[in-house]
Structure 1
Amino acid sequence: MSHAAPTHPTPTWSPLRLDSRSRPVQLLAVLVGTMALALSSYVSVPMVPVPMTMQTYAVTLIGALYGWRLGGLTVLAWLGEAALGLPVLSGGAGGITPFFGPTGGYLFAFPLMAVLTGWLAERGWNGHRVVLAFCAMLMGNALCLALGAAWLASLIGLAPAIAAGVTPFILGGIVKSALGAATLKALAMRPATR
């Protein structure tokens, strides 16, 4: 009786092929990803109590492009940089304070967003199926709003949390999801290189 080695499903979507790259290349990808996340934090539309930034676009895109494992790790590394005091969050914020204020729930949701969109992208919800890519991005944004609102509700109550922390961001979430899906579609149309 022979025992075959267990097979692990290979991702159906891996435009950067990071899962098959060396550790140094993966570490470089994490560094580049944290820089992209930091830059996205500076593209901001002031709103109260949480500004609308391009962070959720970058988080979902990194999840979809890096895969759920490396995407989630990249977002955690970026949040680690923020916790250490680096000015990588919205408006140049850093330190521990944003994790315990009104933005805490959104910040804690970001790694889960990357994991969700990466997991879905690996299973076909990607640039080859743009409607599913849009749905994956939208689900990531909805997860962020739900967790962010739950946290905010513990601070200011449910109705005010929905009014201030969800409703103003629904249209932005839809637009950023469409932009993310369009980005994935554009990448899927590129000829493959080796």
Structure 2
Amino acid sequence: MVTDKSAASALIGIQNKSLLWQAGAVVAGTLFLAAASYVEVPLVPVPVNMQTLAVTLIGAVYGWRLGALTVITWLVEAALGMPVLSGGAAGAHHFVGPTAGYLFAFPLVAAMTGWLAERGWNGNRPVLAFLAMLLGNALCLALGAAWLAVMIGAQDAFTFGVLPFLVGGLLKSALGAALLYALSRRVAAKRS
């Protein structure tokens, strides 16, 4: 267990900031998630994009509570019609369509990644950070494919909802761990 909680959970010390600052961090996080949603490769029935990278990073940097809250806020924005989903999509109908399982998995992914980061699976330990990101991607794929299987069957859900995302999940996990490592180095340099 890590003893330096501020370094282990939220790399930028969010727990020590005012509620106004935390609200600003939530807004910034939803903007980051929306921007990541626009970086996509359109596939059917589920597009490939950078959302899982953003979700896992938000969890790892913000900590499990604020990370999950940020992702939930982004989902509410989407349900209310703001164009924040993949490719600028919006609307409540996405929460019952083929991507619903992935969308509902996102707050859990952010919470899990944040929880692991709070226990030392962060940028100070790049291999553990990579594993945390990889577990986040795996959780998202598992929950997303489970919902998709209800709609199109288990075989097709695996073929179209898991297989196309395996290499991307590995690459996004490595990129996420590298970004966390760079951020932790930067934060450590500022503190010294």
> Equivalent of 1:156, from 152, 156, 162?
152
Identity of aligned residues (%): 63
Q: Distance in 2 between matches of 1:95 and 1:49?
A: 17
Partner of 2:42: 46
1:109-188 to structure 2, matched below 5 A, reads 109-188=105-184
Q: Which one has the bigger helix percentage?
A: 2
- 1:36 matches 2:32: yes
Q: How big is each residue's C-alpha offset from its partner over 1:95-135, in whole Å with a ceiling of 9 and x where there is no partner? A: 11111000000000000000000000010000111000000
1:13 is displaced (CA, Å) by: 3.5
State the SS of the aligned residue for 1:85: coil
Runs of 4+ in 1 over 3 A off after TM superposition: none
Task: State whether residues 41 and 47 of structure 2, in contact with CA within 8 Å, keep that contact through their aligned partners in structure 1.
Answer: yes
1:15 is displaced (CA, Å) by: 1.5
Partner of 1:192: 190
1:10 is displaced (CA, Å) by: 3.6
State the SS of the aligned residue for 2:190: coil
1:91 is displaced (CA, Å) by: 1.3
Q: Distance in 2 between matches of 1:18 and 1:169?
A: 31
Q: Could you list the runs of 5+ residues in structure 1 that have no partner in the other structure?
A: 1-8
Greater radius of gyration (CA): 1
Q: Distance in 2 between matches of 1:14 and 1:95?
A: 31
State the SS of the aligned residue for 1:192: helix
RMSD: 1.4
Compute the TM-score of the two structures, normalised by the length of structure 1: 0.93
Q: Could you list the runs of 5+ residues in structure 2 that have no partner in the other structure?
A: none
Task: State whether residues 10 and 118 of structure 2, in contact with CA within 8 Å, keep that contact through their aligned partners in structure 1.
Answer: yes
Q: Distance in 1 between matches of 2:5 and 2:178?
A: 24
1:53 is displaced (CA, Å) by: 0.4
